[in-house]
Structure 1
Amino acid sequence: MATNPTIGEGRTLIADSADALDRVRGLLPAIRERARMVDEDRHVSDATIDELRQSGLFNIVTPKTLGGSELGFADLVRVTAEIAAVCGSTGWVYGVLAGHSWLLNLFPAAAQDDVFSNPDALIATVFRLAGKVEEVEGGYRLQGGDGRFCSGIDFADWVIIGNGITRADGSFEPRFFVIPRSEIEVVDDWYTVGMRGTGSRTIRIADSFIPAHRSVSLAEMLSGNSPGANAHKGAIYRMPFADIAPFSIIGAPIGMAQGAVRNFAEQLGQRLSDAGDVELGEQSATYARIAQASAEVDAALALVLRDAELIDRAHSPADISPLDRARIPRDWAWAAQTARYAATRIFEASGGSGIYDGHGLQRVWRDVNSAAQHFAFTWDSAMSRYGRAASGLKPSEFALPNRRK
């Protein structure tokens, strides 16, 4: 539990799943209107972030002990998908900033106090940051830090980074650290084919002292058994982070594909509203394409929600079996890749007009293909891990990706 009794004061709370959906749907018309500007500016609208703050949606999975609504990851996936259906970049940034705050629950209570003393604080992440960390009196010193793909950095107050320390005996201990935004330089290098509006730029940290209480070992993160996690009542705050983190972003590619199918079908209906029977009949292949793509996206969402609800219902991390732990990443990867191909199926039917910058479908197609490139959604490795587990073979060990991807 937070040691500061004022933590979380002033936050807007969300009552339940229906309340969360009502709140986000009230914001969607404005988010949709800003989508093209977000892509062109490579920056989510400041107005949108302010509206999301005021709605309380950023605190959807924050524990009640820290002033949050503590709804669960199924609701986070649903809300992220709703936003991404009208603006992919905004949905992705929302998912990161709302979901990755969960990681802070595994840090010591004093770190939680540091961050949430500001009830509006937002947290970004770089899971693997280059640079050297040394253990010093009172904490750690990070020098020469450099890491890419810091989604949400434009709005973050703190950043959780992954690195590690070399012990006196030469052994290396992977650790996570939380660092204030004021000590971070942002490099404007986010020039990409898709998800341009996420502004997922490179960060650099030249020299930073990190107090000891703002760090937690990877071993504790993977077990979910840390002093900070044990301070919260809900089992979701004691889950291994490898079972949780991608729930923050998987709603985005699914939502993007939902938006592509929905918008294409609506536009087709408008175009054919005055058509005769012959012309309507000639579009049978297009109707079938819409049906197949929508079924694929519905299946992807249903699969991910089943897994999220399993996590949300758990009374203990022990309720999640080893096979569940292999299946959940399988489903993340399958859902993301299925969303990618469903959106591509729709884009193929858009014709030559779909390639123009002013056509919204090409933006969605770029965004969903970019989102599906995330390492958490890597098809081959996720399928291999599940196949090993289903066959009763020893699972591979979790490791942060040792590459700049």
Structure 2
Amino acid sequence: MPTPASTDTAGSDAVRRVEKVADEFEAAAEETERLGRLSDRSVQAIKDAGLMRLLAPEEHGGYQVHPREFGEAVMATARRCGASGWVAGVVGVHPWEIAMLDPRVGEEVWGQNQDTWVSSPYTPSGIAEPVDGGYVVTGHWQFSSGTDHADWVFLGALTGDGSGRPAASPTYLHVLIPRQDYEILQDSWNVIGLQGTGSKDVVVKNAFVPAYRTVSHLDVAQGIAAERVGRTGTLFRLPFAVLFPLGITSAVVGIAEGALGQHLAYQRNRVNAAGGRMKDDPYSLYAISEAAADIAASRSQLLDGVTGAYAQLEAGHPITTKQAGQIRRNQIRCAWRAVNAVDEIFARSGGNAGRRDNPLQRFWRDAHMGLQHFIHMPGPVYHAGAVLEMGVDLPDHLRGVI
């Protein structure tokens, strides 16, 4: 598939590794969607490109790359296969958080296999009842992307009151659970887009989780969890709301770039119903340029946000609440801008664009499904962003969104 001219694919080592297996991602994309999970071929391509090791700590075979490089690699993957890029962006963040836990956790997860995957989600859909040495966790979580290929799962849970309900003032925890302690509901993922991500439900019933395999969401959100285990690297001091959305939105931007590439290839030789060549149609060409500019703007703004945050921490300056709010606001706008651009070119691709054998329709569906993730909900984040721009104190109920 041709790469949009606005996309720089020659930059990082991570992107170059993705480019080496790009044909594998493209060739396996249809099978991945049909299976409702990543195909074995797609999984192997992700491993060959080292995508899950990009943010992992060096002592466990990780690359500890600059987050911009991670975002670029996710985009390069999603440009070929939306589902593969999505899983790389979501699952690829988890090694970053494992590095913030007790060192015993890294040994448990990667001691025997440095390619072990960890899925999620972080939504607090479970209860963690405090017991001696840890917690007993029970719950039901949706949207565990890539879970069929993972041996562990990060889950969000609220501390309980002893009766199966949240405590009066619960602590929001991220808990890490091994595969033998949770069930994957295999028939729980039947959607119109990103079908190949296999984002199925997981269920946990009374699983004991030692305290060292848990971390407070607030500590991760504020970027202080790493300090508590002695990690001082800039990568691990980034706030959760700066790094976690990067993988997801990078996948959406990459999917949009893939849609643009498919549209360009299709329009190049297309003849419309009146016999005119689309490459000579000034109205369609106008739409192409406008969409290409918007997708390129989304790419730049998203990567610039995390790059600026990283540089500021590297220089010894903390990220302010206002800056975090701006990064989150812009990250959401990047996703919406990119998907709106996809709509503009898809609407000008003719009826044949909707045929199942035309990859463009898969990119279009994947883009819209990616936009449904809660990390792309604009309302509360835009509200918080506007309040911060005015210099007004942020209400407590909005602090959690950034």
Normalised to the residue count of structure 1, the TM-score between the two structures is 0.88
Matched, 1:48 2:47: no
Bigger Cα displacement from structure 2, 223-232 vs 123-132 = 223-232
Partner of 1:59: 53
Change (3 A) 1:150 1:320: same
Partner of 1:74: 68
Partner of 2:29: 35
For residues 31 and 347 of structure 2, what CA distance do their matches in structure 1 show?
25
Given the alignment, which residue of 11, 19, 27 partners 1:25? 19
Unpaired runs of 5+ residues, structure 1, are: 1-15
Aligned pairs for 1:121-160 (under 5 A) are: 121-143=116-138, 145-160=139-154
Matched, 1:106 2:100: yes
Partner of 1:87: 81
Bigger Cα displacement from structure 2, 57-66 vs 338-347 = 57-66
For residues 297 and 138 of structure 1, what CA distance do their matches in structure 2 show?
49
Partner of 1:297: 295
For residues 167 and 147 of structure 1, what CA distance do their matches in structure 2 show?
20
Unpaired runs of 5+ residues, structure 2, are: 1-9
Partner of 1:209: 208
For residues 359 and 72 of structure 1, what CA distance do their matches in structure 2 show?
35
Aligned 8 A contact 1:21 1:79 in 2:
yes
Aligned 8 A contact 2:102 2:229 in 1:
no
Change (3 A) 1:260 1:216: same
Structure 1 residue 197 displacement after superposition: 0.5
Deviations 1:254-304 (A, max 9, x none): 0111111122112222337xxx9x856851111111100000000000001
Structure 1 residue 317 displacement after superposition: 7.4
Aligned 8 A contact 1:63 1:232 in 2:
no
Aligned pairs for 1:226-375 (under 5 A) are: 226=225, 230-271=229-270, 279=277, 282-313=280-311, 314-315=313-314, 318-375=317-374
For residues 42 and 279 of structure 2, what CA distance do their matches in structure 1 show?
42
Structure 1 residue 21 displacement after superposition: 1.5
For residues 270 and 137 of structure 2, what CA distance do their matches in structure 1 show?
59
Other structure's SS at 2:302 match = helix
- 2:133 maps to a residue whose letter is G
Aligned 8 A contact 1:89 1:196 in 2:
yes
Partner of 1:223: 222
Bigger Cα displacement from structure 2, 163-172 vs 235-244 = 163-172
Alignment RMSD, CA only?
Answer: 2.4
Aligned 8 A contact 1:17 1:71 in 2:
no
Aligned 8 A contact 1:337 1:379 in 2:
no
- 1:32 maps to a residue whose letter is E
Aligned structure 1 segments of 4 or more residues deviating by more than 6 angstroms: none
For residues 328 and 165 of structure 1, what CA distance do their matches in structure 2 show?
30
Aligned 8 A contact 1:100 1:248 in 2:
no
Bigger Cα displacement from structure 2, 152-161 vs 228-237 = 228-237
For residues 372 and 99 of structure 1, what CA distance do their matches in structure 2 show?
18
Aligned 8 A contact 2:268 2:278 in 1:
no
Normalised to the residue count of structure 2, the TM-score between the two structures is 0.89
Determine what percentage of the aligned residue pairs are the same residue: 26
Deviations 1:126-151 (A, max 9, x none): 112433321111211113x1000111
